[in-house]
Amino acid sequence: MAPKDYHDITYRTDDRLAFITLNRPEKLNALSNNLRAEVMDAMREAEHDENVGVIVLAGEGRSFSAGYDLSPARAAGDDDFVDERSKLPPTGTTHPGKNQWARHVIMTNWTIWELGKPVVCQIQGHCLAGGTELASTCDFRIVADDAKIGYPPVRAMTTMDMMWAPWHLPPAKAREFAFMGDSFSGEEMARLGWANYAVPAEELVDFTEQFARRMGNIDNEMLMYTKRSVNRQYEMMGIVEGLRSGAEIMALSAVRDAADEWNRRVQEDGLKSALEWRDGPFRDFRGAYDSAPKDRAVATGKKHDGGDYAN
């Protein structure tokens, strides 16, 4: 039974394991502020439970997560776990000022990094944008071999909020991932080292649980100290400052001229139409739709003499 009344996730324990599951399958587990806040609350709940040794993070339905929820915020009353001031997951600051999203994302996800217990992420279907950031902060990733992992917002919106790619992928592939937003299969992401294992989709749940239970044979303090020891090596190599600097650059990318065109299309034509425009030339994601503009001009954010933006 869940220790709290969660809206957007489920939480259960079984022997040495705690299972935290994103539970908005109708939205492909889009990461709303409240969902992310609930995930971090459940992480702390599992950390506090001395009977739990290992945490499994998963997504209900056909996808782990399609990324951050770009739709309008839900009505009050469905966001019980966000900070009452900022309406964001609590991080110790309300993140005042413009373009603080990436900083907030890193501080939220860093809860998992500093957690005293290992987290195993189970990934099927789409794992996109913010979904990759959440998964990349976990200690282990086990993926369905046909999963699709990518960061399409870099095509028109901003740079990655959390520039994890250079820390998990070989340099050439890190650049490919961060520049173009194309999806990589689960099988390829395991080959590149981002995922620990890629298995057939029908075996994913059982394989992940067996992996986590095997680790659960180790006592909690040993797991904590091992995690801390490994993490501190990455911190000495600069991962904290690297991610923070990436957040500052993301804020700059959000105010470039061409960002105006993306924002205008969302406001005037709606999110789905804007996504078709973004992905059209790539012919994937929403760009695979017949209505998507396959040969659109590169965004400039500049207006013609007639006052309209370039198409």
The residue range of the domain holding 86 is 9-218
Q: What is the DSSP string of the chain?
A: --SS--SSEEEEEETTEEEEEE--GGGTT-B-HHHHHHHHHHHHHHHH-TT--EEEEEESSS-SB--B--SPPPPTTS-TTS-TTTSS---SS---SSS-HHHHHHHHHHHHHH-SS-EEEEE-SEEETHHHHHHHHSSEEEEETT-EEE-GGGGTT-S-SS--HHHHS-HHHHHHHHHH---EEHHHHHHHTSSSEEE-GGGHHHHHHHHHHHHTTS-HHHHHHHHHHHHHHHHHHTHHHHHHHHHHHHHHHTTSTTHHHHHHHHHHH-HHHHHHHHHGGGTSGGGGSTTS-TTPPPP--PBPTTSPBP-
In a domain, 52, yes or no: yes
Q: What is the pTM of this model?
A: 0.93
In a domain, 307, yes or no: no
Give the β-pairing of 17-22 and 9-14: antiparallel
Whose CA is closest to 28, among 73, 66, 58? 66
pLDDT at 3: 63
In a domain, 294, yes or no: no
In a domain, 155, yes or no: yes
In a domain, 60, yes or no: yes
In a domain, 194, yes or no: yes
Q: For position 33, which CATH number holds?
A: 3.90.226.10
In the Cβ-directed half-sphere of 147, how many Cα atoms lie within 13 Å? 38
The rounded Cα 232 to chain-centroid distance in angstroms is 23
pLDDT along the chain (311 residues), means of 10: 81 98 97 96 97 98 95 62 93 92 97 98 98 98 98 96 98 97 97 98 98 98 98 98 97 94 92 94 94 92 52 41
In a domain, 274, yes or no: no
pLDDT at 4: 79
Query: Structurally, how many domains does the chain consist of?
Result: 1
In a domain, 256, yes or no: no
CB atoms within 10 A of CB 145: 19
